[in-house]
Amino acid sequence: MQFSFQNPTKIEFGQDSIKSLKALLPLESKVLLVYGGGSIKRNGIYQQVMTALEDHNVMEFSGVEANPTYETLSKAVELVKAQGIDFVLAVGGGSVIDGCKYIVAASCYDGDGWDILTGAHYSDKALPLGVVLTLPATGSESNAAAVVTKAATQDKLSFYNDIVRPRFAILNPDVIKTLPERQQANGIIDAFIHVCEQYLTLEADTWVQDGYAEVLLRNLVKLAAQFEQRDNDIWRANLMWTANQALYGLVGNGVTHDWSTHMIGHEITAIYGVDHARTLTIVQPSLLRSQIEYKRGKLNQLGSQVFNLAQGDDLAERAIDALEQLYSKLGLPVRLSEAGIKDADAVDKLVAALEKHAMTAIGEHKAIDIATSRAILLQAS
Ligand code: NZQ
Ligand code: ZN
């Protein structure tokens, strides 16, 4: 076990927390408030933010789409540069937050911002970023990752850089009240699979990380079980905090990760526009069945510690079945066809995209080559 850890994002958690914006944003700063398609105007969050910022100098940029595009974000970068913006405030879910991470880095770079996604440029400078979270799922509000899509070429790429980690994140669980049911279910499952990607790898006697991962997974199973009775403060607060902690950094310290479900899932979103969490539920069960011998020890642990399954030679197989049932019960697809993807060449297109993005040896053993990805996707068709 060897790691270095720091998460400097200040978290303001609670039902009254949006008010704290007033003190968190320096009065002298020139703020760009960035949001998505306008849900914040319909649910009162915009009004709460503007009230907190009545003494600040605030400009706005709206229209960041789900799975934010380079094309839209480039317009925000132009605005930041032209207006001398020096603080960006993201008010939204993972898409708006990721989009803002791109904006704060690309605004300090003279070249084409897409270089940040391809790895041609590594940012050493970014504007400060703050977040008001409206959708618990991605953990983007306090991590250093961002995923951006170039619509023109259907490339959905990610970058990771501590320099874009938000200075603060405001987590008010009441925002969940107006979140569509589909997004609430997506949020539970995205967080669940974030923990899996950091947990279902090698057995390494990392007691803290394993134990914490299992608490978070059990919470998410419980939140899913209470889905029909979810209209209460306890459910909302526990979902928001669990989803945050799933990708906050602690679970992943000093352990082997395997983000291959996410890598394959991103291609499904890029080509077919399927919601992020729904791509993961399609890929993961099939991927785990394909890689079961590498992951049997941890799958056994998941089966007994999270799903309370009886011991037995087929515990790992039953743990994967339990995952699949969890996803189906919440209404998420576990096959491409259940997400409406029925074209005969779908798997060919997805595999070609993986190859284009050099995803040719993924998984903790680099054992998932293109032929294996093809088999995983065929199994998930
Ligand atoms: O556009 P608006 O009007 O804001 O509507 C959004 C959007 O349509 C709506 N919404 C958000 N909060 C709401 C609300 N509607 C009503 N009430 C509210 N309080 O929900 C829709 C989906 O929002 P989006 O931000 O796209 O969802 P999510 O948070 O799931 O983010 C998905 C994006 O995050 C990336 C994904 O790839 C995807 O692009 N990810 C980012 C990660 C990271 N940075 O660490 C990790 C994840 O694995 C993921 O890849
Ligand atoms: Zn995710």
Which among 112, 140, 174 is the end of a domain?
174
DSSP category for residue 168: E
Domain harbouring 160, CATH code: 3.40.50.1970
> Which whole number is the average pLDDT over 24-31?
97
Torsion of CA 292, 293, 295, 298, to 10 degrees: 100
Residues 80 and 107: their CA atoms lie apart, in Å, by 7
Q: Which of 48, 361, 331 is nearest to 185 (CA)?
A: 331
Assess whether 43 and 153 both reside in one domain: yes
User: Going by DSSP bridges, is the β-strand pair 155-160/145-150 parallel, antiparallel, or unpaired?
Assistant: antiparallel
Residues 267 and 343: their CA atoms lie apart, in Å, by 15
Is 3 among the domain residues? Answer: no
Is 252 among the domain residues? Answer: yes
Is 5 among the domain residues? Answer: no
Mean model confidence pLDDT for the chain: 98
Is 372 among the domain residues? Answer: yes
For ligand 2, the distance from its centroid to the CA atom of residue 139, given in whole angstroms, is: 9
Is residue 371 very low, low, confident or very high in pLDDT (cuts 50, 70, 90)? very high
Q: Which of 53, 137, 54 is nearest to 97 (CA)?
A: 137
**pLDDT > 70 fraction of the chain, expressed in percent and rounded:** 100
Residue nearest to atom 49 of ligand 1 (CA): 138
DSSP 244-259: HHHTSSTTTTTS----
Residue nearest to atom 17 of ligand 1 (CA): 179
pLDDT in tens, 246-277: 999 999 999 999 999 999 999 999 999 999 99
pLDDT in tens, 180-193: 999 999 999 999 99
DSSP category for residue 362: B
Is 87 among the domain residues? Answer: yes
> Which whole number is the average pLDDT over 63-81?
98
Which three-class secondary structure state does DSSP give residue 229? helix
pLDDT in tens, 31-52: 999 999 999 999 999 999 999 9
Q: Which of 81, 23, 86 is nearest to 55 (CA)?
A: 23
Which among 151, 174, 197 is the end of a domain?
174
Tell me, what's the pLDDT at 312? 98
> Which whole number is the average pLDDT over 213-242?
98
Residue nearest to atom 8 of ligand 1 (CA): 66
Tell me, what's the pLDDT at 243? 98
Please tell me if the CB atom of residue 63 comes closer than 6 angstroms to any atom of ligand 1. Answer: no
pTM above 0.85? yes
pLDDT in tens, 282-340: 999 999 999 999 999 999 999 999 999 999 999 999 999 999 999 999 999 999 999 99
For ligand 2, the distance from its centroid to the CA atom of residue 199, given in whole angstroms, is: 14
Tell me, what's the pLDDT at 108? 98
Tell me, what's the pLDDT at 245? 98
pLDDT in tens, 190-207: 999 999 999 999 999 999
Assess whether 145 and 20 both reside in one domain: yes
Tell me, what's the pLDDT at 140? 98
| Domain containing residue 285 | 181-379
Which among 144, 174, 204 is the end of a domain?
174
C-alpha distances out from residue 91 to 32, 46, 139, 259, 303, Å: 11, 8, 14, 27, 37
Is 265 among the domain residues? Answer: yes
Is 355 among the domain residues? Answer: yes
Q: Which of 195, 201, 206, 209 is nearest to 246 (CA)?
A: 195
Query: Cβ–Cβ contacts within 10 Å for residue 132, how many?
Result: 30
Assess whether 328 and 300 both reside in one domain: yes
Assess whether 227 and 103 both reside in one domain: no
b or e along 89-113 (b: 16 or more beta carbons within 10 Å of the residue's beta carbon)?
Answer: bbbbbbbbbbbbbbbbbbbbbeeeb
Which three-class secondary structure state does DSSP give residue 140? helix
Please tell me if the CB atom of residue 179 comes closer than 6 angstroms to any atom of ligand 1. Answer: yes
Name the residues around ion ligand 2, CB cutoff 5 A: 190
DSSP 270-292: HHH---HHHHHHHHHHHHHHHTH
At 261, list the tokens. 């479900």
Assess whether 190 and 307 both reside in one domain: yes
Residue nearest to atom 21 of ligand 1 (CA): 66
Contact between 141 and 120 (Cβ < 8 Å) = no
Please tell me if the CB atom of residue 56 comes closer than 6 angstroms to any atom of ligand 1. Answer: no
pLDDT in tens, 230-243: 999 999 999 999 99
Q: Which of 137, 236, 178, 180 is nearest to 48 (CA)?
A: 178
Which three-class secondary structure state does DSSP give residue 160? strand
pLDDT in tens, 106-149: 999 999 999 999 999 999 999 999 999 999 999 999 999 999 99
| Residue-level length of the chain | 381
Tell me, what's the pLDDT at 185? 98
Strand-pairing partners, residue 87, are: 31
Please tell me if the CB atom of residue 139 comes closer than 6 angstroms to any atom of ligand 1. Answer: yes
Query: Cβ–Cβ contacts within 10 Å for residue 317, how many?
Result: 16
Is residue 158 very low, low, confident or very high in pLDDT (cuts 50, 70, 90)? very high
Assess whether 169 and 196 both reside in one domain: no
Residue nearest to atom 39 of ligand 1 (CA): 67
For the chain, what is the domain count?
2
Tell me, what's the pLDDT at 246? 98
Assess whether 292 and 168 both reside in one domain: no
Assess whether 187 and 111 both reside in one domain: no
